Structure 1
Amino acid sequence: MGINFDLKVIKIGLLITLLSLIFGIGLGIAFGAKEEVFKNYISENIKANPAVHDEKSKDKIWRYVQRAHFHSAGIAAYSLALLLIILVSKMKDSAKSFSSTMIGIGTLYPLSWYLMFYLAPQIGRDAAHNHILTETIVYISTGGALIGLFMIFSSIFFDKFNEVK
Structure 2
Amino acid sequence: MQEKLKSVQWGVILAIATIFLGFFLGAAMGGAEAQIKQYWTASAQPVLSSVYNNDAQKVSAIVDRSWKMLQRAHMHAAAIGSASLILLYVLSCLNLSALYKKTLALFLGLGSLGYSLSWLYTAFAAPLTGSIPAAKASIHILAAGSIGMLLAGTFAILALSCKTLLCSKNT
TM-score (norm 2): 0.82
User: What is the Cα deviation at residue 86 of structure 1?
Assistant: 0.5
Note the alpha carbon deviations across 1:77-123, whole angstroms, 9 max, x for none: 11111111101122222211111111111202011111111111111
Measured against aligned partners, the alpha-carbon deviations of 1:28-66 in whole angstroms (never above 9, x if no partner) come to 111222222211112222344234343631211111111
What amino acid sits opposite 1:39 in the alignment?
A: K
SS at structure 2 position matched to 1:52: coil
SS for the counterpart of 2:96 is coil
Query: Would the aligned equivalents of 1:79 and 1:107 in 2 still touch at CA under 8 Å?
Result: yes
- How many correspondences in the alignment? 157
Superposition pairs for residues 42-53 of structure 1, below 5 Å? 42-50=40-48, 51-53=50-52
* Conservation of the 8 A alpha-carbon contact between 2:107 and 2:150: yes
Instruction: Say whether the 8 Å CA contact 2:15–2:85 is kept in structure 1.
Output: yes
| Alignment check: 8 A CA contact 1:10 1:96 kept | yes
Code of the aligned partner of 1:111: L
Match of 1:62 among 58, 61, 67: 67
* Secondary structure of the corresponding residue to residue 153 of structure 1: helix
- Which of the numbers 116, 123, 135 marks the counterpart of 2:129? 123
Q: In structure 2, how many angstroms separate the alpha carbons of the residues matched to 1:149 and 1:95?
A: 13
Shift, 1:5, TM fit: 4.3
Rounded Cα–Cα distance in structure 2 between residues aligned with 1:58 and 1:149: 34
Q: 1:110 aligns with which of 92, 99, 116?
A: 116
> Where in structure 1 are there 5+ consecutive unaligned residues?
160-164
* SS in structure 2 of the partner of residue 90 of structure 1: coil
2:102 maps to what in 1?
A: 97
Q: Contact between 1:87 and 1:96, CA under 8 Å: does it hold in 2?
A: yes
Structure-to-structure mapping, 1:8-47, within 5 angstroms = 8-47=6-45
Q: Does the C-alpha gap of structure 1 residues 11 and 77 become closer, same or farther in structure 2, counting only changes over 3 Å?
A: same
Unaligned 5+ segments in structure 2 are 53-57, 165-169
Question: What's the CA shift string for 1:124-152, capped at 9, x where partnerless?
Answer: 22321211xx1121122111112212321
2:152 to 125, 141, 147: 147
Q: For residue 71 of structure 1, what is the aligned residue in structure 2?
A: 76
- With normalisation by structure 1, the TM-score equals 0.85
- 8 Å contact kept, 1:102–1:144: yes
Dislocated runs of 4+, deviation >4 Å? none
Determine the C-alpha separation between the residues in 1 that align with 2:34 and 2:129.
21
